[in-house]
Structure 1
Amino acid sequence: MKRIGKIISLALIATALTGPSAVAQSADPDAQAAATLAQMTQEEKLSMLQGFVPQTWPAGTFPADLPKGAGYVPGVPRLGIPALAESDASLGVANMGGLMRTNDEATAMPAGLTMASTWNPALIEQVGRAMGAEARAKGFNVLLAGGINLVRDPRGGRAFEYFSEDPLLTGILGGYSVRGVQSNGIVSTVKHYALNANETGRSFADVRMDEPAMRESDLLAFQIAIEIGEPGSVMCAYNKVNTTYACENGFLLNDVLRGDWGYKGWVMSDWGAVHSVSIDKGLDQESGTQPRHTPWFGQRLKDALAAGTVTWADVDRSVSRILRTMYALGVADDSPVAGKPIYFAPHLDLAQRVAEQGTVLLKNENGILPIAAGAKRILVVGGHADVGVPAGAGSSQVWPVGGSPLRLRYDEKEYHFRLYMPSPPVAALKEQFPQAAISFDDGSDPARAAQAARGADVVVVFAEQFRREGRDVPDLSLPDNQDALIESVAAANGRTVVVLETGGPVAMPWIDKVPAVLQAWYPGNRGGEATARILSGAVNPSGHLPVTFPVAAAQLPNPVLPGQNLIDAAGGKDVRTLPKEQQVLPITFPEGSDVGYRWYAQKGLKPLFPFGHGLSYTTFDTSRPKLSGMTATFNVRNTGKRAGADVSQLYLVSQAGQPQQRLIGFQRVELKAGETKQVTVNIDPRLLADWKNGGWHMPAGKYSFAVGKSADRLGPVTEISLPGRTWRDNGASER
């Protein structure tokens, strides 16, 4: 379970990661779980297999000492088994709309795409540590964190929560995030297992994909994350995979997760994702049940036990997995207590550092950025930049430290708001440019904004796009006439900079008319300060794209968004109006394992901005890689006049004579002006192999490698001969 650790430079691991917090953990969690299980009654065992939504409990019946979050699972006090208090997460301790726990603040970390744009595992582990520490202080012992789904569709509603389109980058960053969370003696999940790439129709989507494609892409991302992070729980997804719901999919849960990967934790369902008594198929715990619903792991499970369709051995196995995890992570011996004070300052500094490292400079013609220190008149346009920076919505939404200065309801459900983080870029720019007259136009009238732009030394247009859980965006366009706004302002002032605050890639029909574009994503609690410091040059941008930006949807494997109209092709009816058993939305991904940049390479398509792309205020030069077995070394030199950070990306470009394009290693490198450093990357053989006949197959032959500034800007190629080999995930190997 440790192989993937070799992918990252040993120097990075040795110098950049801090040790885990001091939390009591059992020396033999298996034996301790077995001893506890032997003392439990049948009712106590069953109580651990069903979770509840705290908000739905009658007043006065929810335990007063537990915080209200996403879920609650009763404990067994007489045996020292604490209740499980669960909070949504990924971007911080969630509190949708600030209303689940009235205005309870937490550090709002930048979006998952921002984190991934840092390409910095050590930094993302620190984020996990901070989130876990805040969760523990609030009394939670389970964080529903670790979003590992690949960004297969740039229109995905939850793309902002996830890391990337690449299994290696996603798996490594996700694993280090989980490791950080769990260093606090609490449980982190990885989710949503598996192939939950779309939000529209997710409860009845049926993803059709063959095993090799899954193993080489989405499943590999989860596998890597599990190897690094050893998460206490895996959350299964809403959708079906090859006609079977993910939460009752024996292939995914038993054959792959437990059988091939040797996973020892427990599987919990997503909230409302259970459709049968599926404990024998690998599901251990039904999450988020409500009093008005009939849970599958309540009376129905008891009925199945009485009928003999499932056995008490199934129950014991699932309870043992939960107990073992609680003992292994110290949850049972050192359970959090709510109400501990939180010192937010270092966490806010961390959030700002992530935003600074994760902001991507996409374009910078004629050195327009950084903005000249002598600029006298700066106009800021749009994006509510006078108020704050946007965030995505859904179960990951955090009520930020300092509260939200603007809360916009997007539907009538209780917690459904668009939130802005209390970090206005206008105020932050005034701090960076105290000598300048900085004015703001809200961008609602393109003609008025263009008129104001004519007198400015530089114009910064903030363009935003809202994304949320439960629904994908219909297309790649900026909403609310913002494309026209940018065109008008750029026509009036040739020194126009666009800052994109979006939850994923967007189309840019105006790209040739503006000299500079900065991708800020959803930058979190201190996003305004981070963006302003990059615009001023106080920070040298170093982010690199973790996803490909297409020119238009026509370049995508699925040009039409799956489920966009939710019409049943056979019957011409809205799928949602059909009986439950007939609600099926088949989804296929023509790219298979060639997700994102690999699809573009395969089809010979040129994207708007490629995977891995990112500019700097300095320049770098990288040497040809030297290969020795499964280890690559190369030098990176800062050839510019100021310090900066480069992200070195090692790609496989041919496999046994066949063209390929796969990221097989990376490292972020900090360099002073003129400095050179050597980078070492240890290559996991799975990244050179294909899945065939139930195992990994690496053909003998010549393999070519190159270091790239992005997926389509590769340096000199090195070719070596490697022996063939085949092996299985369960450890069996042959040559």
Structure 2
Amino acid sequence: MRVLLTLSCLLASQSLMAQSATDDPDAKAARLEAQMTDAERIGLLSGIMPISFPGLEVKVPQGVPPTAGYVPGIARLGIPPQLSTDASLGIANPGQLRKADVATAMPSGLLLASSFDPALAERIGATVGAEARAKGFNILLGGGMNLARDPRNGRNFEYLGEDPLLAGTLAGHAIRGTQSQGVISTIKHFALNGQETLRHTADSVIAESALRESDLLGFKIGIEIGQPGAVMCAYNLVNGYKACGNDHLLNRVLKGEWRYKGWVMSDWGAVDDVSYLKAGLDQQMGYQLDKQHWFGQPLADLVAKGDVPKDRVSDAVRRILRSLFAVGITGTYEPQPIDYKAHAQIALDAARGGIVLLKNDGILPLAATARNILVVGGNADFGVLSGGGSSQVTPSNGAPRIVEPGSDGPTALFSRQLYMAGSPLAALRKALPAATISFQNGYSPEAAAAYAARADMVIAFATKWEGEGMDSGSLALPQGQDQLISALAAANPNLVVVLETGNAVTMPWLEKAKAVVQAWYPGQEGGQVVADILTGKVNPSGRLPITYPASIDQYPRAALPGLGLPDRTPVKVAYDEGAAVGYRGFAKAGETPLFAFGHGLSYTRFSHGPLSARAGASVRLRFTVRNAGDRAGADVPQLYLVDRNGEKLQRLVGFQKVVLVPGESRTLTLDVDNRLLADWKDGSWSIAGGRYSFVLSESAAKFGKPVIVRVPAKTWKE
């Protein structure tokens, strides 16, 4: 009888957690570290990427699979080897080097963020963690939560939006889910990793107070909730110092003020000097990608000469061991069967929870009486697009379609565009058997428009591929798709546009489209879910986790710093907007976006009861939500701070996803994190006492009546 992985891993993780509760991980780590030789200690502080690239050959021990990272264990002390896997959106198989090895491909991080659903994040994290363990991996390189400061960032699709409360909360719950399966999760990339262009040499420049109130606040929330075993530092510089050798970020903030107990691992190829150990880095990973194996013999020589204190080496080792034991990793994981069918259902639920209905002039959901429908573009006859780079997953639901645009260098594989099997066209035909549904690939706008003119309605699928290592040059849809959509709209007024993108895009055709669905990169089950939403089988409930600008000119940096310059060219990226990221910046500048943060439509209607507030140790907000329509659905009421002693501002201070049947009401109570009311001043959080105004909202642009509460002054350290 086949063992169901999800249940078996859950029971195993419960046993491991019970064991760890009786054997303090700090004490066990200290006990084992004291028994180690200097060579054994040094050996735990670096690891290879067990894959040989041309010019970057490395000796891979027998039995170690092609994966992201490997650090040998110490058998005589029972310390297991560390096997890391890329896994932002599912278990990656780099270059498909592990033959026939597939995994459940989850939707993109932005789609998860659009769900505004911590429970869903935890469920996804647990599923990916279970698959990692079943494949023999014990470290998952997930937990991506850099804030989306630029809508052209090629890795925004992996992350969780522009707001620190939303991103930190979802990242923390995903990490918690992963580690419940006995697999360590990282949180990454620490910190201010805001663009892929010149990512090794871009210097992110920002005031300390602004950094604390934005990106670092998101990381802190994620760490508090998820307790990740490791923090992965970033490639970029922060205020003049490389993130992986940044004494202020790693020693003062992370390990000092935050009292973080885990270890700091480098990103692959992010270490420039052995001095990074003193600056707070504990482990050099993928060291063959660096100029030197700094944490190998160079470190051993400095320790032997007394130039690096042995206590610092011991501290790094204890941090690594402590995280292994805290999560319950005491041995190697043998491969186990995976119930991909059960996990596909979780990927399906995830896509259902985060696809966003941006616009609907009454054309959706599609009527069962729809007869002559033309589907155009986006490879909709085959499947759905996914983002590229280290997060790329080889899906479990069938062979993908791979587009090779051509590239060179060690990251050439990152340029491959992968479409996951599961055709939206086929799913629509199955859902609407009485309709005639035809397809045009959209290569010729004129030909597609001619067919569109003869159809009752048109569904255009538009795609924009994003990936690690590169940023978009603009917010426009590539390869003439804006022109294609405009031609379709001119030929047929009944136009629905489905967007598969990794970022916000501009929409010059918006007024001519009757409906727009933001499907993001919806994962391996996304084709079915898009059809379910178009036909009304699923009521859309996603809300935007990023702001859609009308133009890039509404952002602080209309020109992307460094775009087009030779690799490794130093460039400064001045984050003069400070903590006013995304919707906060739009509110501060009085700009009107194309679509606001938090926006999303439903096939039912919700009403929000009056908001009440009271102040105590924290501000408590209370309100009622009612489904006033005729369909079951999920609402995401949002709470914003909009005025503080006469200062106009916008800060998301609370949210909750709630599922209601028609006529059902629910009263919700949320406590506001004091840091969302405060400013960072002189090394402390400080709340200015006085009158604070809060609103209950459908988005960052559609507010209810404010409620005012008097909040006492308060100052405290981290």
Task: Please indicate the TM-score interval, normalised by the length of the shorter structure.
Answer: over 0.9
Deviations 1:370-393 (A, max 9, x none): 011111111110000001100010
The counterpart of 1:78, out of the listed 72, 76, 79, is: 76
Structure 1 residue runs of 5 or longer lacking an equivalent are 1-16, 567-573, 577-582, 730-735
Instruction: Judge conservation of contact 2:132–2:138 (CA < 8 Å) in 1.
Output: yes
Work out the number of aligned pairs and report it.
696
Match of 2:150 among 140, 150, 153: 153
Mapping 1:493-504, distance limit 5 Å: 493-504=492-503
Does residue 1:215 correspond to 2:212, yes or no? yes
The match for 1:628 among 585, 595, 614 is 614
Structure 1: distance between partners of 2:14 and 2:364: 41
Match of 2:677 among 682, 688, 710: 688
Match of 2:605 in 1: 619
- Which segment is superposed worse, 233-242 or 620-629? 620-629
Preserved CA contact (<8 Å) 1:378 1:459: yes
Deviates more, 1:348-357 or 1:238-247: 348-357
Return the letter of the residue paired with 2:251: N
Matched, 1:600 2:586: yes
Q: How far apart are residue 28 of structure 1 and its match?
A: 0.7
Which residue does 1:323 correspond to in 2? 321
1:342 aligns with 2:338: yes
Residue 392 (structure 2) pairs with residue 397 (structure 1): yes
The structure-2 alpha-carbon separation of the partners of 1:296 and 1:257, relative to structure 1 and needing over 3 Å to count, comes to same
Task: Kindly indicate whether the alpha-carbon contact (under 8 Å) linking 1:90 and 1:161 is maintained by their aligned counterparts in 2.
Answer: yes
How far did residue 299 of structure 1 move?
Answer: 1.6
Q: Once the two structures are superposed, what CA deviation does each residue of 1:584-620 show, in whole Å capped at 9, x if it has no partner?
A: 2110112100100000000000000000000000111
Aligned match for 2:380, one of 366, 380, 385:
385
One-letter code of the match for 2:69?
A: G
1:624–1:706 Cα contact (<8 Å) kept: no
1:23 pairs with one of 2, 16, 29: 16
Q: CA deviation at 1:686?
A: 0.3
Change (3 A) 1:60 1:448: closer
Q: Could you tell me how far apart the structure 2 residues matched to 1:299 and 1:34 are? A: 24
Q: Which residue of 1 aligns with 2:259?
A: 262
For residues 456 and 688 of structure 1, what CA distance do their matches in structure 2 show?
Answer: 54
- TM-score (norm. length: structure 2): 0.95
Aligned to 1:284: 282
Alignment correspondent of 2:268 = 271
Q: Distance in 2 between matches of 1:640 and 1:18?
A: 42
Q: Does 1:175 align with 2:180?
A: no
Residue 711 of structure 2 aligns with which residue?
722
Letter of the aligned partner of 1:408 in structure 2?
Answer: V
Aligned to 2:201: 204
Task: Show the 5 A alignment for 1:429-448.
Answer: 429-448=428-447
Residues 39-76 of structure 1, C-alpha deviation per residue, up to 9 Å, x if partnerless? 11111100000110101299996344443210101110
| Change in CA separation of 1:721 and 1:18 when aligned onto 2, cut-off 3 Å | farther
Deviation, 1:415, is 3.0
For 1:371 and 1:594, locate their aligned partners in 2 and report how far apart those are by CA, in whole Å.
Answer: 39
- From the superposition, tell whether residues 292 and 493 of structure 1 become closer, same or farther in structure 2 (CA, over 3 Å): closer
Shift of 1:414: 5.8
Deviations 1:645-688 (A, max 9, x none): 10010000111231110000000011111111111111110000
Deviations 1:358-380 (A, max 9, x none): 10000001x10001111111111
Of 659, 667, 671 in structure 1, the residue corresponding to residue 660 of structure 2 is 671
Q: Secondary structure at the match of 1:263?
A: coil
**Residue 293 of structure 1, CA deviation:** 4.8
- Residue range with higher mean Cα deviation, 305-314 or 650-659: 305-314
Change (3 A) 1:591 1:109: same
CA positional deviation for 1:312: 1.1
C-alpha separation in 2, matches of 1:499 and 1:385: 10
Classify 1:293/1:554 alpha carbon distance in 2 versus 1 (closer, same or farther; 3 Å). closer
Kept after mapping to 1: 8 A contact 2:50/2:64? no
CA distance in 2, matches of 1:95, 1:228: 29
1:112–1:160 contact (8 Å) kept in structure 2? yes
Quick check: 2:13–2:328 contact (8 Å CA) kept in 1? no
CA distance in 1, matches of 2:391, 2:548: 24
Residue 21 of structure 1 deviates from its aligned partner by 4.1
Q: Is the 8 A contact 2:641 2:692 kept in 1?
A: yes
Give 3-state SS (helix, strand or coil) of 2:235's partner: coil
Distance 1:44 1:727 in 2: 42
> What whole-Å deviation, never above 9, does each CA across 1:480-505 have from its counterpart, x for those lacking one?
10001000111111111000000010
Match of 2:529 in 1: 530
User: Quick one: which amino acid aligns to residue 257 of structure 2?
Assistant: D
Q: 1:709 aligns with which of 698, 701, 706?
A: 698
- 2:628 corresponds to 1:651: no
* In structure 2, C-alpha distance between the alignment counterparts of 1:19 and 1:100, rounded to whole Å: 29
2:478 aligned residue: 479
Q: How far apart are the structure 1 equivalents of 2:547 and 2:58? A: 50
Q: What is the alpha-carbon distance in structure 1 between the residues aligned to residue 228 and residue 687 of structure 2?
A: 29
Instruction: Compute the displacement of 1:34 (Å).
Output: 1.1
Q: Distance in 2 between matches of 1:621 and 1:550?
A: 27
Please report the RMSD computed on the Cα atoms of aligned residues, expressed in angstroms: 1.7
Cα drift, residue 291 of structure 1: 8.6
Give the letter for the 1:34 counterpart. Answer: A
Q: SS where residue 76 of structure 2 aligns?
A: helix
CA contact (8 A) 1:558 1:590 kept: no
Q: Which runs of 5+ in 2 are unaligned?
A: 1-9
Name the amino acid aligned to 1:50. S
Query: What is the DSSP-based 3-state SS (H/G/I as helix, E as strand, rest coil) of the residue aligned with 2:427?
Result: helix
Query: What TM-score, normalized to structure 1?
Result: 0.93
Amino acid at match of 1:119: F
Q: Using a 3 Å threshold, how does the CA distance of structure 1 residues 443 and 33 change in structure 2: closer, same or farther?
A: same
1:313 aligns with 2:311: yes
Q: Work out whether 1:418 is the aligned partner of 2:456.
A: no
Secondary structure of 1:54's aligned partner: coil
After superposition, what is the alpha-carbon deviation per residue over 1:430-488, rounded to whole angstroms, capped at 9, x for unaligned?
11111111110000111111111122222100000010100110000000100010001
Deviation per CA, 1:282-333: give whole Å up to 9, x if none: 100000112995211112212322343311111101001001111111112x
* Aligned AA (2:38): Q
Counterpart contact for 1:119–1:647, Cα < 8 Å: yes
Shift of the alpha carbon at 1:102?
2.1
Q: Percent identity?
A: 51
Q: Is contact 1:66–1:139 with CA below 8 Å preserved after alignment?
A: no
1:103 touches 1:399 (CA, 8 Å); kept in 2?
no
